[in-house]
Amino acid sequence: MNDTKSGDDKTLSVTPKKTLTLKRPGLEQGTVRQNFSHGRTKSVVVETKKRKFSLPGDKPEPVAPSVFTPKPAAPAPVAAAPVVQEAPKAPPPPPERSGMVLNELSRGEMEARRRALEGSKAREAEDRQRAQEDAKRRAEEEERRKRERDESARRQAEEEARLQAEAESRRRAEEEA
């Protein structure tokens, strides 16, 4: 059994499967080749409907009306003696509340709230103290850097003055010699 074609061409091919369908009037079939982005191609069967054209003077073909027979409506239920229902009463208005929420809290809730407030005040005080210490530390560091820059500039100026004095003394010594 040899799966290849005769000759140098060594490609295999499979005949495409055709779908089994009944031909309907008014439809034409054709095949279209689909190309996919990853390089694969596939043949697909396409059906197209034939359009019916009518000229402006022609009468359109009559369409068979669909027959619809409605079922008889169910008999209306016999009304018994009318029952009178009272309208539901509106709920009573809520009692007026004062602006103080603490009066409505239990002792345990008030104690928990007091502890939470004390804890938050203590944390805020610690944060403020830390911020002040950080600001003081930053100011000291900036002052130290400024002193170092000033000292470096002073030393550099002294070095330049010394070099100029040496150059001046050499020039005088050369002039005298």
DSSP tag of 81: S
pLDDT given at position 102: 47
Domain boundaries, the chain: 105-176
Structure confidence at residue 86 (pLDDT): 61
124-162 burial, b at 16+ Cβ within 10 Å, e below that, comes to eeeeeeeeeeeeeeeeeeeeeeeeeeeeeeeeeeeeeee
| Beta strands, E only, the chain | 27-35, 41-49
pLDDT for 13 equals 72
Taking Cα atoms as reference points, which of 30, 32, 84, 28 lies closest to residue 51?
28
- What is the pTM for the complete model shown? 0.32
> What confidence tens digit (pLDDT) does each residue in 76-92 have?
555 555 555 565 566 66
**Residues in the chain with pLDDT < 50?**
102
Model pLDDT, residue 64? 54
What six digits make up the tokens of 160?
């330049």
